[in-house]
Structure 1
């Protein structure tokens, strides 16, 4: 190719480049002065046009980081290295309220021939306006972060704050989130428009630089009417105020807030209702005051998507909180409101609802002035778990009424738990036997006559036992498997306690919640309880202050009992040979004891009860028979023998010679029953003590 042809080709290429290329091209000399620009640079106005020719770079890029751009051009001029796709951001002088993003490509111009390095003549700069592309990428980044961040928990306040954190400062300079009062309190869903006077609560607030909260989190916050906020809640449509005019009438409805906005420089806002399937949860508001570019329709669409994403998570949090509230209410309803008053122990408890689980406790009066203390923890949460807990508690009370020892009671309770799990199958017709139901339980009985404490446990923490001075007493209860496993046995342990000892039964939530060290927590619990002069309720409160975190993640139960000893003067016992001739003597001894106790009014009825029970024990049993009278809150009459044959109450016919003994006992007693021993049984009957007239 001839040199003239090459020159003509290069001229044509240069003419096309500067004449029809869509990019803006600028040519700078060695002094970084503008010497030439193409047609696109004059018409597209990426940077100032023809009037900038002959001026330095720092003089014709107002609104952009001129020093940065000058440094880039100087670097290319000095090194000859090409810079491609360098982004710079600014606000052009022609539209200072609109952010603009430019992509710069810089080449060094040289006077050398092809393939040889010549002297630098200047710098060629290709400029492309990529504002739309970068804005779209930034919106996608905000959406991506929102999908990763919002909804990490099932807490309403945390979810609302996640929305505020995602949007500030990448989208807005300040964000507020308000939820309806009933949604905040886990109430029923609110469908349809929201009236202007409907109460809301501030759920989240964040600004670019922090600062004092105008409305504290959780406080009531009602928007004045009419405003874009109330209008948005009224028709469930978002509102865009692209340019805030402080002369508008609606701003007069709340002068305090308006003045705060004016001081901060708020110039644009968006209000978007939090809506899920026509259920209104609240309102999110976004503000700009430092970023000069106002919100536009693209920003409104992004605000819709962000708010819709947050609304889904908030609705899940509300539903979870509502179910948790219902489960907690059900659980509290199924638990004793106050431990019953019994003579064997003084009792107090604490119950802290954390994860709406299914912890339970019970204090059960047993025969012979004894008492049973029970604490359990069912795995699972929600209404179903709370209902199952109620079933287990009922089963425990039913089994306790049979006067079963703790280990045997747990064996039968384990069978009941397995049956409940089988009956609560969650996949009918699939052959699945149902979801696994696992629970832990500790059953402890205390006899104030013998001062003997007996306990068995199924996967539950050891009880803590302290003597009257606050010193820990050794009481190792053998560990058994959790309830619901099935097929395993349980062992019990016994210890004799001095009167005034403190028994502490608790669930794992008290000592191991949120990964706390259980040994350290137990040591702190011991320190709390080792205060002999304080009441049990004071000790329970002190345990809460010391052990339970501010927002517990699991339920926590602590049941405390201080033991009593029934004085020897309130107990009388005799042993008789298996001879029916001793029945009359047993009646006489019972009469003398009642007279000594001042219970003359109960002599006749007690003699009949003693006569029937001793006669039956001698007639149908074997070996010696023991009669015991206990004066407690009732008069207790017990007859024990060495046979395990249970008596049965029946209605005797008119011609029957026998069968009326137990019927007489039932008529004369407030309650009666059978207690099985390791060897033999005890038939007992209770009569109320005569009260003052």
Structure 2
């Protein structure tokens, strides 16, 4: 074998002085022409002088329509949406400076598929001859649509997960899903949720057996005139029982209608005219995806494309399902929060007073203002409790925190205060008993879970008792801001009350103070959220409250609004409870008081005095009953009491009888036997009176009975 001949026919080898591409230009040209990457050459005027076959396929413009034409003239033929001037400017910069442009991303369509988005990577290099003279530029175009779509879809999924999880409102979450999906995935998106989901309730097990009750929770469209967008957010949505939407919700499986055509009539079987409008509008295809969370179907998402876009493909269905799956987690979280929040608010509303009234003794107005709706129900509360002897108790309290635990603790404290108030305990003793209860609650909660701070820890309370007969108010507080007293002339004072510790500490005793209250004064009780914020201390809040209260003669409802507007200049940072009460003292003609001696003969005198007073008040129909009540109470005071006896009759919303003596022993009602000569007095009182009881004073006790006045 002649190796020299074979070597010569093979061309220059690796060790030869001339490389093979210099010796075989046709082979090089063939390689470039058949390259899978689109390649072209522009001269110094940026006119096409050469393109390969791949570039023709990418752009869809034949070679003869490119050669000899400027770059800015050819680009509009590819896609009018391309920035021809900007691309030519960048190419000219490469020609002038020699700095290559590498991997520049272009987005557009093709001549065959103008509405199908594509992505291309453009790289431009300057060309030189052997003498280093500039000949023009060459460029390489790669179709990176798949890579761009994958990155865009990943960005879409990340955005859906981040933005839908930024709110705990079901409707806002659904609307966010629709906003993100248009126009990146569809031209119209509608999110319809079950009624129960919007309310925060879980879907019922039998919901799939009946036509689903849906509401439009969110929608977005690139065209305002699309027929499906006429339903406003929040409106009910009805589907035919045999429609694809209903079947999608029942079986929980997605559906892809790539070319609906005649299926539009079945899709909108209940409204053929509406189906015809959608057909005229140019519906291209639709995707139905159920919203599923933990095995439950919460609703349905519809993705729709026009005729101007390519129909949905299987990859679009997979993307839509993933988008809905991520949003479904946020929708279900929002639903669960809505349920918990609604439960806490319902619990708080059931525990707070529905209405407060002080009868004819007090005019009452109150406000409860939560700090933030998203924080749930708080523990602030207030109450007005009628007591014996025409007296009225005013209460305001604060439990730290929000949510069900705070609301439940608030309810327990309010119920306890009402129970203790019925025992006619003085304010300081009532707070002492309430403090014992809070300490027991704290011990129970810490025993159950030592890592969680008890809800009752740090609770505060102010308890005041207004006596319209004596025109006094006795107050005691447990770590609570002091009450304000507005005199009839508009002057505002904050009585100097002993500052007891918050409830649950058990460190110091509670003390009460008595304040004289002029007729027509206003008592203002409030929680610390009204006067204390992170921006300023409580002293500045007290000064603002003093200024706002200085409005003599103002209606209490209007005064409540004025206080909230002027004191809470920037909105509350904590829950606020405000209670206002205007006093109405009893007149001399409403109270009758007699001092009696501790002698059995005084019982007849007490009966006679009672009869005369009731006759003067026009209550002749109560004379017989009330004579018996007064007789029995005075008899017990004479028999078991010490010292002088006082009889007092009060006519207000009811008729009150009070018999006081110096003994601290409590009377007891018992059922006398048939052979007993006594022991039936209090039993008769309990049968004749609407209510009766005992309250203790500093020098003895008062046994009282109450009778309802006859209807006018």
Residue by residue over 1:476-511, the C-alpha shift from the partner in whole angstroms, topping out at 9 and shown as x without a partner, is 555555434553544444432232333344556778
Q: Aligned to 1:410, which of 427, 431, 438? A: 431
Q: Does 1:121 align with 2:101?
A: no
How many residues end up aligned between the 2 structures? 676
Query: Partner residue of 1:45?
Result: 58
CA contact (8 A) 1:178 1:201 kept: yes
CA contact (8 A) 2:544 2:567 kept: no
Distance 1:292 1:320 in 2: 39
Distance 1:197 1:515 in 2: 54
Q: Please show how residues 84-483 of structure 1 align to structure 2 within 5 Å.
A: 84-112=102-130, 118-191=132-205, 194=208, 197-208=211-222, 214-223=230-239, 228-243=244-259, 245=261, 248-250=264-266, 253=269, 254=271, 267-289=284-306, 292-339=309-356, 342-349=359-366, 354=373, 355-424=376-445, 428=448, 435-438=454-457, 439-460=459-480, 462-468=482-488, 472-475=492-495, 477=497, 480-483=500-503
Distance 2:285 2:645 in 1: 94
CA contact (8 A) 1:202 1:218 kept: yes
Q: CA deviation at 1:546?
A: 9.8
Q: Aligned to 2:700, which of 657, 681, 692? A: 681
CA contact (8 A) 1:639 1:683 kept: yes
CA contact (8 A) 2:548 2:563 kept: no
Distance 1:473 1:209 in 2: 64
Q: CA deviation at 1:58?
A: 3.3
Distance 1:310 1:477 in 2: 56
What SS does structure 2 have at the residue aligned with 1:356? Answer: coil
Residue by residue over 1:193-241, the C-alpha shift from the partner in whole angstroms, topping out at 9 and shown as x without a partner, is 7578533222223345889973333222324576543443343223334
Distance 2:534 2:303 in 1: 35
Q: Could you tell which deviates more after superposition, 411-420 or 390-399?
A: 411-420
Query: Partner residue of 2:6?
Result: none
Q: CA deviation at 1:292?
A: 3.5
What SS does structure 2 have at the residue aligned with 1:672? Answer: strand
Q: CA deviation at 1:94?
A: 1.8
CA contact (8 A) 1:192 1:280 kept: no
Q: CA deviation at 1:137?
A: 0.8
Relative distance call for 1:479 and 1:166 in structure 2 (3 A) is farther
Q: Could you tell which deviates more after superposition, 243-252 or 162-171?
A: 243-252
Q: Does 1:563 align with 2:589?
A: no
Query: Partner residue of 1:497?
Result: 517
Residue by residue over 1:285-313, the C-alpha shift from the partner in whole angstroms, topping out at 9 and shown as x without a partner, is 33445984443332322221222222222
Q: Does 1:67 align with 2:66?
A: no
Residue by residue over 1:621-679, the C-alpha shift from the partner in whole angstroms, topping out at 9 and shown as x without a partner, is xx6554433334444333445565545556678999987765665566543333233x2
Residue by residue over 1:90-134, the C-alpha shift from the partner in whole angstroms, topping out at 9 and shown as x without a partner, is 111022231110011111111246xxxx22111121211111111
Query: Partner residue of 2:632?
Result: 608
CA contact (8 A) 1:28 1:123 kept: yes
What SS does structure 2 have at the residue aligned with 1:69? Answer: helix
Distance 2:399 2:337 in 1: 19
Distance 1:39 1:32 in 2: 20
Distance 1:273 1:411 in 2: 58
Residue by residue over 1:38-58, the C-alpha shift from the partner in whole angstroms, topping out at 9 and shown as x without a partner, is 45446x636646444444333
CA contact (8 A) 2:378 2:406 kept: yes
Relative distance call for 1:161 and 1:516 in structure 2 (3 A) is farther
Relative distance call for 1:257 and 1:11 in structure 2 (3 A) is same
Query: Partner residue of 2:12?
Result: none
CA contact (8 A) 2:364 2:580 kept: yes
Residue by residue over 1:57-103, the C-alpha shift from the partner in whole angstroms, topping out at 9 and shown as x without a partner, is 33444114333332222111111001111001111102223111001
Relative distance call for 1:88 and 1:111 in structure 2 (3 A) is same
Query: Partner residue of 2:11?
Result: none
CA contact (8 A) 1:633 1:688 kept: no
Q: CA deviation at 1:179?
A: 1.7
Relative distance call for 1:288 and 1:422 in structure 2 (3 A) is farther
What SS does structure 1 have at the residue aligned with 2:230? Answer: coil
CA contact (8 A) 1:191 1:278 kept: no
CA contact (8 A) 1:193 1:235 kept: no
- Structure 2 residue ranges without an equivalent (≥5): 1-14
TM-score by length of 1: 0.82
CA contact (8 A) 1:366 1:372 kept: yes
Distance 2:495 2:281 in 1: 67
Q: Could you tell which deviates more after superposition, 83-92 or 509-518?
A: 509-518
Residue by residue over 1:248-306, the C-alpha shift from the partner in whole angstroms, topping out at 9 and shown as x without a partner, is 43476546755775787654443322221332222223344598444333232222122
CA contact (8 A) 2:409 2:456 kept: no
What SS does structure 1 have at the residue aligned with 2:153? Answer: helix
